[in-house]
Amino acid sequence: MARVKLSDVVAFLGHQVHVCRYREAGTLLDWMGRDLRGRRVLDVAGGDGYWAGLTRKRGAQAVSIDLARKKMVYGAALAHAPALIECDALRLPFADGSFDAILSVCAIEHFDDGGTSLDEMARVLKPGGQIFMSADVLSRADAWPKLRDAHKAKYHVQHTYTHESLGKLLDERGLDVVRHSYQFRTAAAERLYLSLSTYGGKVGFNAAAPLAPLVALGDRGAPNERGSIVLLQARKR
């Protein structure tokens, strides 16, 4: 039996024991599919490459790009580490049509120019290929301006997006939205999300992991039209 590596245990706790990231990235991966053999997958701003590593575990040829060298050095020690490339998401070093699928977990809101990042994703995606991405929405954040401003400053959030605004940007780049889903849909859940990010940070998000099933239950009973995070799947024409 293969030994479990300490780096994988730490990565699991950091990425999956979390009030939202497991459900957020997990949903995107579910949309992508369980069998990814023969497919090339790019994770844009993937940090240590953990989520891209899960696509590799499903058979994909996985690549993760980021500018955080320290995270990538750590990620190289993971059991299913993808290829890790240090580069700018606004200037991807890949040929046109290089990938079958692109993953991007809550990254676009941190870019100065989200449109340029989507230009690059669309360029390196094959016709018929798909993007699986999430983004900050913070649809009710104006009700709590101090929490909103603290969240944006702490996490360097440059822009927020809805499924409509992202859909428009994707359409302009030749991609059609297949489906979308909001998370933290209720006012109480949105306030929890902002409070955790402002006062608890990463530790707070991890400590609040037991609340994830309650948030998911609340989401199922609320309209799929607003929330803190939006998830989209789009296909290139």
Residue 200: per-residue pLDDT:
87
Please give the backbone phi and psi of residue 192, each rounded to the nearest 5 degrees, phi first: -60, -45
The three-point CA angle 181-187-193 to 5° equals 75
Dist CA 213 CA 5 (whole Å): 28
Query: In the numeric block, which tokens belong to residue 210?
Result: 């037991």
pLDDT digits over 198-208, tens only?
998 778 888 89
Dist CA 125 CA 146 (whole Å): 39
E-assigned strand segments in the chain:
40-44, 61-66, 83-86, 99-104, 125-136, 175-183, 229-236
pTM tops 0.85: yes
pLDDT digits over 74-127, tens only?
899 998 999 999 999 999 999 999 999 999 999 999 999 999 999 999 999 999
Residue 3: per-residue pLDDT:
61
What single string gives the DSSP state of each residue in 118-159? HHHHHHHEEEEEEEEEEEE--TTGGGSHHHHHHHHHHTT---
**Whether pLDDT at 1 is above 50:** no
Low-confidence winner among 14-18, 174-178, 191-195 (lowest mean pLDDT): 14-18
Query: In the numeric block, which tokens belong to residue 178?
Result: 């297949």
Q: If we measure between CA atoms, which residue out of 55, 35, 23, 2 comes closest to residue 193? A: 23
The three-point CA angle 92-98-99 to 5° equals 95
**Domain 6-236 in CATH 3.20.20.80:** no
For residue 236, list its beta bridge partners: 175
Query: In the numeric block, which tokens belong to residue 167?
Result: 């859909």
* 42 within 8 A of 66, measured Cβ to Cβ: no
How many C-beta neighbours within 10 Å does residue 226 have?
Answer: 19
